[in-house]
Amino acid sequence: MDQGLLELIEQHRTHWPESFDGLLTPFFHTLHRAHGVILGQAFKVMGQYDLSPAEFDVLASLRRSAPPHELTPSQLQQSLLITSGGLTKVLHQLQSRGLITRSTDQGDRRVKPVRLTAAAMPLVEQTLRSILHHVGGWIGETLSTEEIQHITQILGKLTHHPSRPFQK
């Protein structure tokens, strides 16, 4: 564990002892720090391709959908952490750059499917290759294959655990 993270955990223990849990507090701080470091590196790569994280997320969601790489805004919003207003803004930006098209569904004119353009395909693919190269390379230098698989398995347990309702 890096010195800065150890200091953060110690500050929490010293200055807010009533909220300190010897097992969970280090876990939360470490998970949060690791998430921030990984995202920070990925965001730098996205910036090199003149993409915001939200724009890349939309393009990547469209790219991993079945050809013709088209989703409705509602389908997109289900896979993104963005409000409908935020999504509308991102879609306008991507459309003005020629990276997506919007059409009208003949069955329901209120629905305007979003489709990845041919110009967007190499951009999103190269961006992801660069993220995997830079961020994945750093992770691969830091952790063994077995450690990556083990962490993935453990974190998968947290994502599949049935949520319990908050109780007062």
For 110-149, write each residue's pLDDT tens digit: 778 999 999 999 999 999 999 999 999 999 999 999 999 9
pTM to 2 decimals?
0.83
Q: Give the separation between CA 64 and CA 116, rounded to whole angstroms.
A: 10
The answer to whether position 162 is within a domain reads no
pLDDT of residue 84: 84
**CATH number of the domain where residue 122 is located:** 1.10.10.10
Tell me the H-state helices in 3-119. 3-15, 24-48, 53-63, 73-79, 84-96
Exposed (0-12), middle (13-18) or buried (19+): which is 106, by Cβ within 10 Å? exposed
Numbers of helices and strands, H then E, in the chain: 8, 3
Domain that holds residue 56: 3-9+21-140
Per-residue pLDDT at 160 exceeds 70: yes
If one compares 14 and 165, the residue with the highest pLDDT of the two is: 14
Specify the number of domains making up the chain. Answer: 1
Instruction: Share the mean pLDDT of the chain.
Output: 91
In a domain? residue 151: no
Q: Is residue 39 included in any domain, yes or no? A: yes
The answer to whether residue 132 is domain-embedded is yes
